[in-house]
Structure formats: C-alpha cells, structure tokens
Amino acid sequence: METITLALLLLAAVLLSAIIDQVVPRVSLPLIQIALGILIAAGAGSAVQIELDPEIFLVLFIAPLLFDEAKSADKAKLWRDRKPILSLAIGLVVATTLIIGFSVHAVIPSIPLAAAFALGAALGPTDAVAVSSLSKQIDIPERQKSLLKGELLLNDASGIVSFQFALAACITGTFSLFEASVDFLVEFVGGLAFGAVFGVAAIALVRKVRDIGVENTTFHVLFEVFTPFIVYLAAQACHVSGIIAVVVAGLMNVISPRAIGPAIARMNIVSSSVWRVLSFALNGIVFVLLGTQLPTAMRHTWDDLSINNWTLIGYMVALTALLLAIRFLWVLGMELAHVRGREGDPRFHRADAKEALITTLCGAKGTITLSILFTIPAYLSYDPLMRFPQRELIIFLACGVIVITLLLATFVVPLLAPKARREESEADEHARDVETMLEIMRNVIENLTAHMTRDNRRATQIVIKSYNDRIARIKETNGIEDEGAGNVELRVQALHLEQERVLELVDQDQVSGLVGYQYLARLERIERLLKHGRGRFSPARLLMRVRVLFRRGLFSLTRKLPDSGMTAQAEEMRMLQIEAESHAIDALRAMTANPAADTPTEDAAALLLEYQRSVAMLRSSLPSVTSTIRTSDRTEDVKRFAYARELEQIQDAYEEERLSRGAARYMRENVFLMQLDLNDTV
C-alpha cells in the first residue's frame, strides 16, 4: 500500500508541475519537479526510500525515454551534423569519464578509480527535458540547437555503456583494459546489429499484419509502446547493449509508415499523444524522485563527520566547474574546426566563443544521470557483506552537479542568449499570429507533398487545394496581398524547365523537330504573355533563345514535313506535353517539400496542382464512378493525416511562443470541428 501511495504522490507532483510550469514559465520544469520532490520528502516526515533493481530501472525508465527520443529525432539533421554530434556524444563522454575519474580519485582517494569512472560516465549525458525547456526561454542558434538535440540522443547510450563497464569493474573487483575494449566493441556493434535486425523484422511484421486487414489503432500503438521493452530485454539476453539496440530501433521508427493509408492518420494522432504523456510522466517521475532523494543523500553525507561540510560544498562546486571546463574546451575546439571550414569568413569571432559557451551551459544534467546512479548497488557482488564504497558521496556529488547545471542553464543562459522580447500591441500580436497560421498551413502542405504517392495523388491534391483555399481566405481577411511577381517568376521558372526537357528530347531524337519546335514556340509565347514584355536580362536565356531560333530555321530548311497525318502529330504533341510537364512537376514537388525554399509554399503547391491536373487530363478520360468513390475514401485518410500534423504544428508554435493562447485555441477548435465533420460523414 505504501508503494501505491508513493506512486500516486509522484504522479500528482508531475501533474502539479505541469500547472506551475504554465504559471511560472521562467523556471525550468525539471527544477519545479525537483522542488516538489523535496516537499514530498519533507511532508513524509521520514526519508522516502526508493529501492529498485538496476535492470528494472533501466527497462522501466531509460529504454522508453531513449526510444521516444530516437523515434522523434530529425534523421536528416542527424546525418548532416553527424561529425560534431558523434564528437560530442562519444568523444566528449569518453574524455569526461577519464578526466573526472582520475581527478575525483586523486582528490578523494576513498572513492576507487572504477567508481570515479562510473561517476564521470554518469555525468556525461545531457538532459532532453532541460534542453527543450530552455528553448522556450532563450534564443539558441539553429546549429547549436541541432547539435544539442543530436547529442542528447546518442550520448545517453555511450554514457550508459561506459557507466556499466566502470560499475562492473568496481563491484566485481577485476578489470582488464583489453577484455573491456573487446566487450565494449562486441556490445556496441552487437547492439547496432540487433536493433537493425529487430527493426527490419518489426517493420515486416507490421506490414504483414496490415496486409491481413488488422488496422486496429489500439493494437499498433500498444505494439509501439511494447517495442522498447522487448528490444532491451532481448538484446541483454543476447549479451549485447540493450541501450544501443533501443536507439537503433527508435531511429528506424518501426511502426509509422511514410504512406497515408486507412486508419494510419488516426493511429499517428493516438501514438503521438500516448508517447507525449508517457515521456512526460517518466521524465517527471525521475526528477521528482531526485527531489525526494536529495534530503536523504545530503543528510547521510552531510552528517558524515569524516568530511567537513564546507569541503563537501567545495567538492561539488569544483566537480561542476571541471565538468563545464571540459565541455567548454571540447566545444570550443569544435567551433574552431567549424570556423576554419566556414565559407566567406574563416576567422574566429567573439560571437563564436559565445555560442560555444551557450552550448556548454545548455548541456545540463538530469534524468539519465540520476537514473543510472540509482542503479548503483548497495553491496559488492564479490563480497555481499561489503557496502559499495562511498555510494552516498557519489550520489551526493552527482545530485549537486545536476542542481547546479540546471540552475546555470535556467538563470545564466537566458542572460547570454535572451529571446528577443518586446511589448506587443494587439495589432502586432495579431500580425504575428496570422503569419504563424500561414506558416503552419504551409508546413502541412509540405508534409502532404512529401507523403504523396501514386495511389493517393488525387486525394492529396484535393486536400492541398483545401489548405490553399484556407490560406487565401486568411490573406483576404487580413488584407495580405499575394506576391504576384513571385508567382510569375515561379511560372516562368517552370516554363524554362519544360523548355530544357523539350530540347533534351529533340537532341536525343526522341521527338521530331517539327513537333518539338512548335511546342517551344508555344512556351515562348506563354512566357512573353506572363512577363508582358518585361523581365530581367539573362545572357544564358538569350543564348538559349538564339539557339532555338537558329535550329528551328535550320530544321525548316533541311527537313521535310513528316508524312504522318495530323492525328499522329497531335498524339506526339500530347506525349511531349506530358513529358515536359512531368519534368516540371518533379521540380515543383521538390520545391514544395523543401522548407528552405524561397518560394511561398502555397504558390508552389497551387502551380503543382495545375500541372498535375493538366497531366491527368492529357493521360486519361473522365474518371469512373468506382475511382471517384475510391478517391473519396482516400481523401478522408489524407484529411485525418493533415489534421494530425496541423494539431502538432499548433502545439509546437504555442510552446515556442510564436502563437498566442487565443489564436492556438481558435485554430485547435477549427481543426476539431473539421475532424468531427469528417467522422460524421463516415
């Protein structure tokens, strides 16, 4: 009964922390949860004893948290910044483990070297919740934000593996560098292989289940929640790293398919909600547990007469300073290497040093550090009567480092990189909200375009058109004028793409010159109409036009008209138009799916739809009743997918303070109404 009461108290504290976080946004959520844990320990009247088997703690907390982080990671950014991320996640963790291990053992000889290495390894990983909490309050440069997110995913695994080896050496009393290196390699590579094999097998299983018609949302979401636990336990049973295997399986995202199919949109909504609640609860429980253990850990060590209390405080501050110094020097070296390869300005500026300092202080310690420290056993395995050396002191020092780094990240980093804040009038806030609304809908269009397949193309076009109509209504309501010039430039660019493709086909003799140059003449007339005789001078375009005119005249002089009738010529023109417009469609699709493109997404999407409708009309006749019904069914699935993405974008924008509370509530209500209307029509 006491365990149930404690569990309910922890959950209540996590719920309360969510409310306090909204009322006091300046204080990071982990600090709030730690404070609530201290209050629970004080109200309990006696020390709250938490005794969990190390393996249970790793499975219960760390495995699902790492899986969720890996599942939601941006794989493209991870690959783009792989070198600096691996440097932070592996190189820095190893350096931290060694330097802190030797330093702590030299200053405090009562802590064995292996135990000191375990402390250094535990202090290697950064905390995901702390980083996400900081991003709301400070203006972290985009590159630093990407590095921090990649680091916190991978350094958890490297830190935990290093900790496990150091801990094993301490509790068994034996250590061999060669054997440890071989074991580390086997566990690391074996974990990678096991996670990849399990990921492939799970993907195949999910596809097979879908093929036999099982689209039950509950089944798929439960299977996804079940995955990290079974991956960890199975990998450990095979004597490879369960942590590495869980991260690999999460990166493969074994459940969520790229295509939009029946019930997949609803599954994504439920899955996202379940994991958000689960990760928030697990992270919160660990921080509240830290708060409950702080008084106990500090009381045992504080009352230890063999160590002066001021000496303890000095150890804690010195350890934090050493940890930050190692991280700062490492990040500074990375920034120097990055600046040397930077185009335009390879010099190192004060701003670069400032960014290195921000990256250093943003690496606060938290959930993973505390979780793996809780796995330190009370007694040694080779002598069950002998207690683990200085266990309370190690936990005391680590808790102090966690609290100090969180305090620095919460109150010092905002001074170094304050988020630009200004008093907004109602008009300014409204303008910002409108711009964010447009951005959210453009992001949804980009997601839809990226998930477009041959089977759902027509349904996706219908939904994209509905989002373009909503964007047009918002612009019209708020007096925002479309950038007509930009749209004209986009259309001209598409015409140039068609011209290039036609010239390629003519040069390769895949199209007769007569038909090819007739189509080129038509494209030139359309371009002149769009530009109204104006436009920027381009030597490349002038040379291309001269070439076309010259070859057209040469062709008319040296070649005779083909003997085929007008029907064959019209068919060849139709096929050429399909080929040229399909070439433009590929470029427009890539432009629409690229968030970094300069062209407004709605303009590119609108032109893409025009081209796709044109190609569809050229390729086929009127659709049958069966195909119309099939398109209607797929449209409902695409709408569910789009609404789920829109709700996620709204929540992210609200949490990042780009959308006011009222505007976020208004947008959510609109999406909920559209979802209700969609469900009512089923």
Cα gap 170→121, rounded to integer Å: 13
pLDDT at 489: 75
421 in a domain, yes or no? no
Contact 579/501 with Cβ under 8 angstroms?
Answer: yes
Beta bridge partners of 138: 418
Residues 394 and 515 occupy one common structural domain: no
462 in a domain, yes or no? yes
Residue 623 banded pLDDT, cuts 50, 70, 90: very low
Half-sphere exposure of 84 (CA within 13 A, CB side): 23
What's the Cα-to-Cα distance from 295 to each of 122, 292, 370, 575, rounded to whole Å?
Answer: 20, 7, 15, 78
pLDDT exceeds 60 at position 557: no
pLDDT at 330: 93
Contact 497/604 with Cβ under 8 angstroms?
Answer: no
pLDDT exceeds 60 at position 542: no
Domain finish residue from 416, 441, 466: 416
What's the Cα-to-Cα distance from 260 to each of 273, 274, 468, rounded to whole Å?
Answer: 19, 20, 20
Alpha carbon 665 to chain centroid distance?
Answer: 24
Check residues 525 and 158 and name the one with the higher pLDDT. 158
Residues 188 and 264 occupy one common structural domain: yes
Residue 647 banded pLDDT, cuts 50, 70, 90: confident
Half-sphere exposure of 634 (CA within 13 A, CB side): 21
Check residues 535 and 299 and name the one with the higher pLDDT. 299
Based on the number of CB atoms within 10 Å of its own CB, is 533 exposed (0-12), middle (13-18) or buried (19 or more)? exposed
pLDDT exceeds 70 at position 593: no
8 in a domain, yes or no? yes
pLDDT exceeds 80 at position 113: yes
Domain finish residue from 416, 450, 478: 416
pLDDT at 382: 65
Token couple for 174: 């034996």
Check residues 52 and 165 and name the one with the higher pLDDT. 165
pLDDT exceeds 60 at position 564: no
Token couple for 145: 């934000």
pLDDT at 68: 84
Could you give the maximum distance between any two Cα atoms of the chain, in Å? Answer: 108
Q: Which residues of 543-575 are buried (b: 16+ CB within 10 A; e: fewer)?
A: ebeeebeebbeeeeeeeeeeeeeeeebeebbeb
pLDDT at 1: 61
Contact 283/227 with Cβ under 8 angstroms?
Answer: no
Which whole number is the average pLDDT over 180-208?
A: 83
Token couple for 51: 């005794």
Residue 194 banded pLDDT, cuts 50, 70, 90: very high
Domain of 147: which CATH number? 1.20.1530.20
Which whole number is the average pLDDT over 402-416?
A: 84
pLDDT at 50: 60
Write out pLDDT tens, residues 479-512.
765 544 446 777 778 888 888 888 888 777 787 7
pLDDT at 107: 92
pLDDT at 106: 92
Residues 470 and 339 occupy one common structural domain: no
422 in a domain, yes or no? no
Residues 410 and 460 occupy one common structural domain: no
Check residues 204 and 254 and name the one with the higher pLDDT. 204
408 in a domain, yes or no? yes
pLDDT exceeds 60 at position 263: no
Cα gap 28→34, rounded to integer Å: 10
Write out pLDDT tens, residues 435-451.
888 888 888 887 787 77
Residues 111 and 37 occupy one common structural domain: yes
pLDDT at 328: 93
Cα gap 195→251, rounded to integer Å: 9
- CB atoms closer than 10 angstroms to residue 258: 9
423 in a domain, yes or no? no
pLDDT at 372: 78
Which whole number is the average pLDDT over 256-270?
A: 57
pLDDT at 396: 83
Residues 378 and 508 occupy one common structural domain: no
Residues above pLDDT 70, as percent of the chain:
74
Check residues 474 and 44 and name the one with the higher pLDDT. 474
Domain count, the chain: 2
425 in a domain, yes or no? no
pLDDT at 420: 53
Taken as a whole, the chain contains a residue count of 682
Alpha carbon 172 to chain centroid distance?
Answer: 40
Residues 438 and 343 occupy one common structural domain: no
Tell me which H or E stretch contains 627: helix 625-655
Domain finish residue from 416, 447, 480: 416
Check residues 229 and 160 and name the one with the higher pLDDT. 229
Residues 468 and 409 occupy one common structural domain: no
Contact 356/140 with Cβ under 8 angstroms?
Answer: no
Write out pLDDT tens, residues 179-193.
767 777 788 788 889
Which whole number is the average pLDDT over 518-545?
A: 62
Backbone angles phi, psi at 537, to 5 degrees: -75, 135
Residues 284 and 333 occupy one common structural domain: yes
Estimate the crossing angle of helix 566-592 against helix 601-619, to 10 degrees.
150
Residues 349 and 441 occupy one common structural domain: no
Which whole number is the average pLDDT over 386-401?
A: 84
Residues 531 and 410 occupy one common structural domain: no
440 in a domain, yes or no? yes
pLDDT exceeds 50 at position 105: yes
Cα gap 632→651, rounded to integer Å: 29
pLDDT at 319: 94
Which residues lie closer than 8 Å to 429 by C-beta, 6 or more apart?
A: 660
C-alpha radius of gyration, the chain, whole number: 31
Backbone angles phi, psi at 387, to 5 degrees: -75, 155
pLDDT exceeds 50 at position 422: no
Residue 597 banded pLDDT, cuts 50, 70, 90: low
Beta bridge partners of 379: 387
Position of tokens 């200085």?
Answer: 390
Mean pLDDT of the chain: 76
Task: Indicate the range of 13-22, 223-232, 246-255 predicted with least confidence.
Answer: 246-255
- CB atoms closer than 10 angstroms to residue 260: 25
- Domain carrying residue 508: 430-680
Cα gap 101→114, rounded to integer Å: 8
pLDDT at 74: 72
DSSP SS3 for 137: coil
The C-alpha angle with vertex 129 and arms to 124 and 135, in degrees rounded to 5, equals 105
Residues 387 and 454 occupy one common structural domain: no
Contact 520/499 with Cβ under 8 angstroms?
Answer: yes
